[in-house]
Chains A and B, each alone.
Chain A
Amino acid sequence: GQQVMQIPQYQHVQEGEDFTTYCNSSTTLSNIQWYKQRPGGHPVFLIQLVKSGEVKKQKRLTFQFGEAKKNSSLHITATQTTDVGTYFCAARSSGSARQLTFGSGTQLTVLP
């Protein structure tokens, strides 16, 4: 079945530093979604990328979809303590139904 590799698994940064998490798939993706799960909470939808090479921004967050639609990244500029949580990518392969395959997540810790 489809697999989505996400790295790193853990990331500790000082407040104000940047942070990036990466997702890679061996197959071409139809689209990719990003979710954030706060400690003790549930995944919350952040954004969806559909087009090859697409870049979307949400304040300090920048999301990219690779040209080949096989990889994606989430970059946070100048992290804040409110950014703490686990960030998941979730991919839907081309031609499949609505099943999402989640990456293993990157757990971000922001040190004040």
Chain B
Amino acid sequence: EAGVTQFPSHSVIEKGQTVTLRCDPISGHDNLYWYRRVMGKEIKFLLHFVKESKQDESGMPNNRFLAERTGGTYSTLKVQPAELEDSGVYFCASSHSGGGQPQHFGDGTRLSIL
């Protein structure tokens, strides 16, 4: 099966600009997660979709971040306006329904804010 794909792989933008990250989960996976890893630190949870609904968005840092999953397929994560501290690697992961399912990660988007 095709894995989780993320686009772009790398984005360099200036502070104040807008960036949209995209994630295509594995087909059939209802659960979709966004994570962020900053400067070699831990992978921090941002939010979790079940199909098109936001199940948990407690990890979203502030209202400059907007995630959507229209139709319950791919998801986008928009940062507007971007700030320096938003730099990091943004990972998307997906999993089947059911407790304790392994999460399959994409290769991530490396976001650099100048």
- Across the A-B interface, how many residue pairs have beta carbons closer than 8 Å? 62
Taken together as a complex, chains A and B put the C-alpha atoms of A105 and B100 apart, in Å, by: 20
CB neighbours (8 Å) of B107 from chain A are 41-42
Q: Which 3 A-B pairs have the closest CB atoms?
A: A45-B102, A102-B43, A104-B42
Asked whether any CB of chain B lies closer than 8 Å to the CB of A50, the reply is yes
Pairwise interchain contact A33-B42, C-beta atoms closer than 8 A: no
Q: Can you list 7 A-B pairs with a CB-CB distance of less than 8 A?
A: A42-B91, A43-B91, A43-B93, A44-B105, A48-B100, A92-B100, A100-B45
**Binary flags per residue of A71-112, CB closer than 8 Å to B gives 1, else 0:** 000000000000000001010100001111111110100000
- CB-CB under 8 A for A102 and B42, given A45-B102, A92-B100, A97-B56: yes
**Measured between C-beta atoms, what is the minimum distance from A7 to chain B in Å?**
12
Asked whether any CB of chain A lies closer than 8 Å to the CB of B25, the reply is no
Taken together as a complex, chains A and B put the C-alpha atoms of A43 and B93 apart, in Å, by: 9
A interface residues, how many (CB within 8 angstroms): 26
Binding site for B on A (CB under 8 A): 1, 6, 30-31, 33, 35, 41-45, 48, 50, 88, 90, 92, 97-105, 107
CB neighbours (8 Å) of B43 from chain A are 43, 88, 90, 102, 105
- CB-CB under 8 A for A98 and B45, given A33-B102, A42-B108: no
Asked whether any CB of chain A lies closer than 8 Å to the CB of B55, the reply is yes
CB neighbours (8 Å) of A31 from chain B are 100
**Measured between C-beta atoms, what is the minimum distance from B81 to chain A in Å?**
27
Q: Which residue of B lies closest to A46 (CB)?
A: B102
Asked whether any CB of chain A lies closer than 8 Å to the CB of B44, the reply is yes
**Measured between C-beta atoms, what is the minimum distance from A32 to chain B in Å?**
10
Q: Which of B41, B104, B106 sits near A45, CB closer than 8 Å? A: B104
Pairwise interchain contact A97-B48, C-beta atoms closer than 8 A: yes
